[in-house]
Structure 1
Amino acid sequence: MSEKIYRIGEAAELLNLKTHVLRFWETEFPQLAPSRTDKGQRLYTEADVTLLRRIQQLLHEQGMTIEGARRLLEGSAVLDENLPARVTAVPDPTFMQMVIREITAVRRLLAGRS
């Protein structure tokens, strides 16, 4: 059985990304070089899609820069797995109310000093 091949739209849909993002990443990550048809259409292998997922994780979940992700994929940098992933959750409303009360109290204290 042959390996599954994805056109750019299919690969983008799998990753929930726009096709222009994949084309841009091709210019930034030399490891990402999908084959092309005679008409120039990009064909991504399973290995390409795996690499795309890794790039997506590094950039979108770990919050790395393109340069940092490129160096990591090239092997010239190491990812510190102890670093927290980028936080995308909505803060706890009770906690946020407490923070606002504390900030308001600090502002009052500072206003009284002037």
Structure 2
Amino acid sequence: MSRTYRIGQVARKLDVNTSVLRYWETEFPQIHPIRTRSGQRLYTEEHIKTLRMIQYLVYDEGLTIEGARKRLRERSQLQPIKEKIDAEQSAHVQTRALKLQIIDELLDMKRILEGKK
């Protein structure tokens, strides 16, 4: 299991009150911390990443909760497209590298053949 953090630890990391985290939990479906048997909230690194994004959108960008919720929703909808583009770019780079390697090998062969004439 990945590392988890208690609500107080997360609040200190983000420099917000625990009440802010509890409120955001009610407003953003992406924030659903694990609960222990005693009801204590445990946040994962993924939760913290999302919370940092919410904090940025609300505090730095000045979005409302609804605006931040919408932006996160849009971002999650774009994620599969971004992953596809990244995969295609990676494949393109690999193909180009392979072509360059083949060209280098062909040039080496040409030099060898020209040297034997």
Flag whether TM exceeds 0.5 (same fold): yes
Q: Read off the aligned partner of 2:38 and give its amino acid letter.
A: K
The match for 2:7 is 8
Residue 54 of structure 1: aligned partner: 53
- Could you list the runs of 4 or more consecutive aligned residues of structure 1 that deviate by over 6 angstroms after TM superposition? none
* Count of aligned pairs between the two proteins: 75
1:93 alignment partner in structure 2: none
Q: Which residue pairs with 1:75 in the alignment?
A: 74
Q: Distance in 2 between matches of 1:51 and 1:26?
A: 11
Q: Does 1:34 align with 2:17?
A: no
What runs of 5+ residues in structure 1 fail to find an aligned partner?
Answer: 77-114
Query: Which amino acid in structure 2 is aligned with residue 43 of structure 1?
Result: L
- The amino acid that maps onto 1:17 is V
Partner of residue 21, structure 2: 22
- Aligned-partner Cα distance in 2 for 1:15–1:22: 10
Distance 2:56 2:4 in 1: 22
Q: Give the aligned partner of residue 102 of structure 2.
A: none
State the Cα distance separating 1:74 from its structure 2 match.
Answer: 1.1
What is the RMSD computed on CA atoms of the aligned residues?
1.2
Query: TM (normalized to structure 2)?
Result: 0.62
Letter in 2 for 1:48: H
Q: Name the counterpart of 1:44.
A: 43
Higher helix fraction (1 or 2):
2
Q: Which amino acid aligns with 1:31?
A: Q
Unaligned runs of 5+ in 2: 76-117
